[in-house]
Amino acid sequence: MPALPTLQEIVSLAVRIITSRTFLEIVFFPGLLNVTLSAALLTWLERKVIARVQLRIGPLYAGIWGILQPIADGVKLMFKEMIFPELADAKLLMLCALSLMLLAIAPVVAIPFGEGLVIADMDIGLIYVFAALSLFPSVILLIGWGSNSKYSFLGGLRSLFQQVSYEIPMWLSVLGIVMLTGTLNLSEIVKAQQNVWFVVPQAVGFAVFFTAGLAELERIPFDLPEAETELVMGWMTELSGIAFMLGFLAMYTKLYLMSALITALFLGGWLGPSILPGPVWFLLKTFLVCTVMIVIRGAFPRVRVDLLLKAGWTRLLLLAIANIFVTVVLILLGLGWVWRV
């Protein structure tokens, strides 16, 4: 049996890990600190932008421009008592809320925030992010069912149907990009946009992906699982305290990472004129996409549930296939070299 490591070896190993680049990337940028701060910032940004759209002001008192509002919300939620209904499965709900947050953070390891600034440069980065996104419906279904309330269960079912229906147009709409670059590696996809960003030749794909992304995030106009006038808070109704904070933050983390993915896939990632460093461009573009999504929330009514599902299965699917045809035509016209890495 090999000798147990001495204390000095353990300490030196720990120091080597902590000062290694990967660990710093995971904890600070583009990892945990970046994601949680951005998610908190997005809650503030949403309230401010929606307020301006609705001719209000939004959070005002917690710090300058109300910027400390997310901290105030977080502290309040952490001190609140976690009340679960008697017949609801409290352990299951806590476990699911926690895994919701973990799943929401999971895609960050594959998204490149700058040249070489990616935690894990995976050859399968794109389908890794999609696989992480495909795990959400089951967790939400468990939360909805575990709340032991008809309305929460209905919210969970609606969310499940919606997310599953819009997964397929989402997968198909990026097929054009994969055809043009021949790789699933997100860093390579960003580098391939050096001449022209993919939003130009793949405009249809961009529209489909953006719409499907809105549906995956359960944002208005695809807000049905959280229909405030009907289901209270949908599947999140029975969560309270820390469990609610985890679920709520998970939604905004998902919003941030979905916008980051859209930036990397369609808007050229960290590419931009060198007056600003790459990561700054990336963050600027990501927050621009987030703001557009937030403004859409303020501007559109909610889509009815059957029209929502029909749109996902028929119209968006056909548009995504049309995008594939457009890409094939592009390649046959000999324009494939523009995006060759």
Residue with tokens 């909610």: 302
CA distances (Å), 247 to each of 151, 158, 234, in order? 17, 17, 12
Q: Tell me how far apart the alpha carbons of residues 323 and 118 are, in angstroms, rounded to a whole number.
A: 29
Residue 312 has what DSSP assignment? Answer: I
Closest CA to 162 of 95, 78, 218, 243: 218
Quick check: 137 binds another protein (CB under 8 A)?
yes
With respect to another protein, which residue has the nearer C-beta, 44 or 136?
Answer: 136
Q: Tell me how far apart the alpha carbons of residues 338 and 32 are, in angstroms, rounded to a whole number.
A: 35
**Residue 2 Cβ, how far from another protein at the closest point, in Å?**
6
With respect to another protein, which residue has the nearer C-beta, 36 or 138?
Answer: 138
With respect to another protein, which residue has the nearer C-beta, 21 or 91?
Answer: 91
With respect to another protein, which residue has the nearer C-beta, 137 or 201?
Answer: 137
* H/E element, 118: none
Looking at 127-135, 226-234, 245-253, 328-336, which segment touches another protein (CB under 8 A)? Answer: 127-135
Q: Judge whether 119 and 109 are in contact, CB under 8 Å.
A: yes
**Residue 135 Cβ, how far from another protein at the closest point, in Å?**
6
Number of residues in contact with another protein under rule CB under 8 A:
24
Query: Please, which of residues 64-103 interact with another protein by CB under 8 A?
Result: 92
- Which of 162, 165, 183, 253 lies at the binding interface for another protein (CB under 8 A)? 183
- Which of 36, 134, 240, 291 lies at the binding interface for another protein (CB under 8 A)? 134
With respect to another protein, which residue has the nearer C-beta, 64 or 87?
Answer: 87
Looking at 176-184, 218-226, 240-248, 289-297, which segment touches another protein (CB under 8 A)? Answer: 176-184
* H/E element, 167: helix 150-173
Quick check: 168 binds another protein (CB under 8 A)?
no
**Residue 271 Cβ, how far from another protein at the closest point, in Å?**
23
Measured on CA atoms in the order 176, 179, 182, 184, is the torsion positive or negative? Answer: positive
Quick check: 2 binds another protein (CB under 8 A)?
yes
Closest CA to 265 of 130, 100, 137, 106: 130
**Residue 73 Cβ, how far from another protein at the closest point, in Å?**
30
Quick check: 160 binds another protein (CB under 8 A)?
yes
CA–chain centroid gap for 279, Å, is: 18
Question: Phi first, then psi: what are they for 269, rounded to 5°?
Answer: 55, -120
Token digits of residue 254: 């998902």
Q: Judge whether 212 and 312 are in contact, CB under 8 Å.
A: yes
With respect to another protein, which residue has the nearer C-beta, 77 or 243?
Answer: 243
Quick check: 128 binds another protein (CB under 8 A)?
yes
Per-residue contact flags (x/-) with another protein for residues 139 to 158, judged by CB under 8 A: --xx--xx------x-----
Closest CA to 340 of 189, 114, 126: 189
Residue ranges binding another protein (CB under 8 A) = 2, 92, 122-124, 127-128, 130-131, 134-135, 137-138, 141-142, 145-146, 153, 160, 164, 178, 182-184
